[in-house]
Amino acid sequence: MRVGLNSGDPQPVSTETAKKAAAAAANRIEPESAGDDAALAQDKVTLSSLATQALARPEVRQDLVDNLRQSIDSGQYKLDPVAIADAMLNR
């Protein structure tokens, strides 16, 4: 079925219906946002605290890097190719 772009609206909206819809929209009661503002402020504080903690940590955990390097140098670090393949395929 093809609809013509210049055809009139088959169900025109009366002025009275439009006025009633506008009045109903104007009379809607909006929810209180005071509780939302308090929750948002608390979330900002929590997020700020977490960001500060994350930035305080070193970018490289040098102790773990040193332990890994020592294991590799001494020949004690062993790889399991099957476990690596499984991990790659299960992601």
Q: How far apart are CA 11 and CA 76, in angstroms?
A: 81
59 — pLDDT class (breaks 50, 70, 90): confident
Is the pLDDT score of 16 beyond 80? no
User: Which residues, at least 6 apart from 71, have a Cβ–Cβ distance to it below 8 Å?
Assistant: 77
pTM of the model: 0.34
pLDDT in tens, 33-54: 667 888 888 888 889 999 898 8
Length of the chain measured in residues: 91
CA-CA-CA-CA torsion sign (8, 13, 15, 21): negative
Where do the domains of the chain lie? 41-91
19: alpha, beta or left? (left if phi > 0; alpha if psi -120 to 50): alpha
The fraction of the chain above a pLDDT of 90, given in percent, is 32
71, 77 contact by CB (below 8 A)? yes
